[in-house]
Amino acid sequence: MAENQTYYVPEQSKWPIVATVGLGVTLYGAAAIMVNGQQGESTTGSWVMFLIGSLIMAYMLFGWFGTVIKESRSGLYSPQMDRSFRWGMSWFIFSEVMFFAAFFGALFYTRMFAVPWLGGEGDRGSSNILWEGFQATWPLINNPDPDAYPAPEGIIGPWGLPLINTILLVTSSFTVTVAHHALKEDNRKKVKLWLSATIALALIFVFVQGYEYAHAYQDLNLTLQSGIYGSTFFMLTGFHGAHVILGTLMLTIMLIRIHKGHFTGDYHFGFEASAWYWHFVDVVWLGLFVFVYVL
């Protein structure tokens, strides 16, 4: 860490404007893909735009984080700067928690109110007039209008692949913690081993989840279009999976940095931030396992 006690304020930087162009082009391209697709028009140009935007984003992430890493390793960051990063990462993770809270909230409202009311329960139960014969169950395998939303033929039971996924992720939280302790003791070999184990577990999780999705789509006819059960199932597990992939990427970069000799026993916030993110991803999975699969 730095001897330097003044707070480092970076000089001009191109990364913010690069990131803006990157994000703007990527998302405009994504929108164009969807809209052109819906209207039956060619999406080639839009895909090109999306890919160019994504490349700009990748370039920006490498460059911006690379600059920060360089500045950190040149001792420009005071303990106060370190605290800014800790606050920043903590509050970012909180915002991610709130993002998932919105989807869990939707699931809660649907199961506790919307579906029972559609089935005739309670004061609001008169809405059963719209779809006669609709039975309110969960998982909802008979939608009110099966022509518009063909129901799935089965559901994903919690005690098969999802249980394996739970074991994988919880174990990986342990392994990343062991890796962290090893890093604090400057035992590089141990860090590499346990961090690699974490990444391996994460990759197996992603593979298992992908296999589960394929099984859902092909064998169970459980898709995004299968009504509210499919919608909530795939949104929650899908966004979770995306965050797992992000987390795995972060951990992999930390592993690369360890191999390059970065970090010391008492100065390794990049690693800690990635580990915090990984624990967050694990906790969200536990919530998913309980509320999407089990209950």
Partner 1 sequence: MSAVADTHAQDDHHHGPAKGFSRWLLTTNHKDIGSMYLIFSFAMFLLGGTMAMVIRAELFQPGLQIVEPEFFNQMTTMHGLIMVFGAVMPAFVGLANWMIPLMVGAPDMALPRMNNWSFWLLPCAFLILVSTLFMEGGAPNFGWTFYAPLSTTYGPPSTTFFIFAVHIMGVSSIMGAINVIATILNMRAPGMTLMKMPLFVWTWLITAFLLIAVMPVLAGVVTMMLMDINFGTSFFDASGGGDPVLFQHVFWFFGHPEVYIMILPAFGAVSHIIPAFSRKPLFGYASMVYAVGAIALLSFVVWAHHMFTVGIPIAGQLFFMYATMLIAVPTGVKVFNWVATMFRGALTFEAPMLFAVAFVILFTIGGFSGLMLAIAPADFQYHDTYFVVAHFHYVLVPGAIFGIFASAYFWLPKWTGHMYDETLGKTHFWLSFIGMNLAFFPMHFLGLAGMPRRIPDYALQFADFNMVSSIGAFMFGASQILFLVIVVKCVKGGEKASAQPWDGAEGLEWTVPSPAPYHTFATPPEVK
Q: Segment 80-139, which members bind partner 1 (CB under 8 A)? A: 80, 83-84, 87-88, 91-92, 94-96, 98-99, 101-103, 105-106, 109-110, 113-115, 118, 122-124, 127, 130-131
Q: Pick the piece of the chain touching partner 1 (CB under 8 A) from 47-55, 140-148, 172-180, 285-293.
A: 140-148
Q: Is 227 left (phi over 0), alpha (psi -120 to 50) or beta?
A: left
Q: What is the C-alpha separation between 176 and 191, in angstroms, rounded?
A: 9
Residue 19 makes contact with partner 1 by CB under 8 A: yes
Residue 143 makes contact with partner 1 by CB under 8 A: yes
Residue 229 makes contact with partner 1 by CB under 8 A: yes
Q: What is the rounded (10 degree) CA torsion for 102, 105, 106, 112?
A: 180
Interface pick for partner 1 out of 49, 140, 179, 182 (rule CB under 8 A): 140
Direct distance between the N- and C-terminal alpha carbons of the chain, in angstroms, rounded to an integer: 48
Q: Give least dist CB 159 to partner 1, A.
A: 25
How many residues bind partner 1 (CB under 8 A)? The answer is 77
Q: Give least dist CB 260 to partner 1, A.
A: 16
Residue 267 makes contact with partner 1 by CB under 8 A: no
Q: Pick the piece of the chain touching partner 1 (CB under 8 A) from 25-33, 153-161, 201-209, 271-279.
A: 25-33
Q: Give least dist CB 199 to partner 1, A.
A: 27
Residue 42 makes contact with partner 1 by CB under 8 A: no
Q: Give least dist CB 56 to partner 1, A.
A: 13
CA 184 to chain centre: 27
Q: Is 36 helix (H, G, I), strand (E, B) or coil?
A: helix
Instruction: Give the angle subtended at the CA of 218 by the CAs of 217 and 222, to the nearest 5°.
Output: 35
User: Could you tell me the two tokens for 33?
Assistant: 């893909």
Closer CB to partner 1, 92 or 174, in the complex: 92
User: Could you tell me the two tokens for 253?
Assistant: 């970069």
Q: Give least dist CB 14 to partner 1, A.
A: 6
Of 88, 91, 59, which is closest to residue 269 (Cα–Cα)? 88
Closer CB to partner 1, 99 or 207, in the complex: 99
Q: What is the C-alpha separation between 194 and 108, in angstroms, rounded?
A: 37
Q: Is the peptide bond before 139 cis (omega within 30 degrees of 0)?
A: yes
Q: What is the C-alpha separation between 131 and 122, in angstroms, rounded?
A: 16
Closer CB to partner 1, 141 or 258, in the complex: 141
Closer CB to partner 1, 127 or 187, in the complex: 127
CB-hemisphere CA count at 13 Å for 59? Answer: 17
Residue 62 makes contact with partner 1 by CB under 8 A: no
Residue 39 makes contact with partner 1 by CB under 8 A: yes
What is the maximum span of the chain, computed from C-alpha positions, in angstroms? Answer: 74
